[in-house]
Structure 1
Amino acid sequence: MEQGNNEKQLKGLQGINLTLFLRLELFMNALDTLGNTKWRVNKKVLSIISQIWSNGGRLADLVDRQDVPFPVEPNTTDESEIRKWKWKVKTVKKENNERHSQRCDIELKLAVARKVKDEEGFYYPHNLDFRGRAYPMHPYLNHLGSDLCRGILEFAEGRALGKSGLQWLKIHLANLYAGGVDKLSYEGRIAFTEDHLDDIFDSADKPLEGGRWWLQAEDPFQCLAACINLSEALRSPTPDITISHMPVHQDGSCNGLQHYAALGRDKLGAAAVNLVGGDQPADVYSGIAARVLEIMKRDAEKDPQTNPNALHARRLISQVDRKLVKQTVMTSVYGVTYIGARDQIKRRLKERCAIEDDSELFAAACYAAKTTLIALEEMFEAARSIMSWLGDCAKLLDGFQKSFPTLKFPPLPERGDFDLREVLESPYFFN
């Protein structure tokens, strides 16, 4: 919220009734709480990142500091060969532009971290977006940023771990390692961490010279920070009273679909996004990926002469996993279109160098996007019907003033019999 002598803002505040003002006060208090949280730089992790970066990057998802070399122009008059060369030049230019952008981003983040690394602590003022979500106002280095940012930052004011804190630190490390480990029960994640203590100690002691187990993690720099913190605690004669500065992140299981499952009283959808209890957390992305794989296996058995999707399915079967479909599933509740889904999946396939020919890559991405959206509709039928209903209402309201006398909303979608009180029984509502 803007401060100072802003006339428009002051006039707006004058017209606010007491109830709304009290609600605003709650928001302000929440923002004050976030803004009063003191942070500092984890110097050990920053030192490792700086070392990797000075050696050219290319580790732990850091971009290569060197550009991709341009292909040599062919000594030929063959137009098809010249076209291929021009296309490769265009691709290399695009790749180098992206690398340049990523290098600038990393340099900015590291510059800020180096500037404040010797400070006892610093604070992040927050503001709210139009949805009411709170974000730090500093754009480069903040605790909602990339793995690099989160790995560098820690709480300035430490707390004794206690017995539960030590257990949560083990769960947190397993979550950061991911690769399916984060979908185990809490007990399973603790067991995973305890089974890899040698790797954890090695990562903490010799992050670049040892076995470098931490680099296998989905969030490598956060995993390294957790390895260092857990090693310090376990080597202490009294782990429970070891002071920890480690933030333990928790997140909802695809919040958008959680809301739709609750609105539609959809028990099947609710189970997929952890609104109901279970022995271990459900993973909606893996569920969609499994359904996509089923459809593709069925298509792969068909005759390519009569069904062109058979070839795409055969190419993509080995590529289907939760990461391929995750972004599309996440954005489906915000109205992602087929074109958006196609571009998302195309980027994932390109990152893996799964299909070299660009036209084949495009066609495969088209097929994968359609299949993913079909799987989503099958698994979240209630969510899709509510989204369609809201879309129909929005179209009606677009011409609200003209059609007001005769305005009729479409009938509400049918709701399931899921009892919302069951939500309180789920240990994995936040996973």
Structure 2
Amino acid sequence: MSFSCRVLHIMQKDAQEDPAIFSDTLHARRLVNQVDRKLVKQTMMTSVYGVMYIGAPKQIKRRLKERESGLDDDELFGTSCYAAKVTLTALEEMFQGARNIMKWLCDYAKVIASENQPVHWTTTLGLPVVQPYRKLRRHIVKTSLQMLTSQRETDKVMAKRQRTAFPPNFVHSLDGTHMMMAAVACKKEGLNFAGVHDSYWTHACDVDRMNRILREKFVEPYETPVLENVWFRC
């Protein structure tokens, strides 16, 4: 079952409830025919960045506005909040393992930051990564013409930022490792390679070879115990 289908399944059940008893029934009925991949994709993709019940309704509200759903502002707000709640519930149900890993990474970063240490790890390629988030101190410089303000890093780490940034930064380091390994492999086979984030390009005549390389190099990093390595190397 796809993620959008899971969201739709929950809303279909809610739409059958008695509106006199279940307050979200009307919201569900408004949305049943509008649930698709585009409606929930942004919230699903940004869940790793910690988007929750504040940011998610805004994301879904924008999608509904694009569709000219005919809802007034109050209906749009209530419907968006309901859709966000269902979307995040579906995430918890379908990706429990991933959510548990995300929580573990956050908890791990919290412990490290509590010792006033930045979170750091080493990728499969051997690249050391250090999260640079430290508290800033404001310095005021008075001159004969004006007063200037500058900010400098202190020795104190930003504990909250260290914690919330670790899961997405760690995932980006995995994606970056895959891209580098794929690029090197393509060069060895004489393929031209270009890429942005997770979109990789080559000439049309070489697409099949690139497809093979991308899949081989995606598996390779995970043949090592990635999370155990984080535990031992942090």
Normalised by the size of structure 2, how large is the TM-score? 0.49
Normalised by the size of structure 1, how large is the TM-score? 0.27
More strand by share: 2
Who wins on radius of gyration, i.e. which is larger? 1
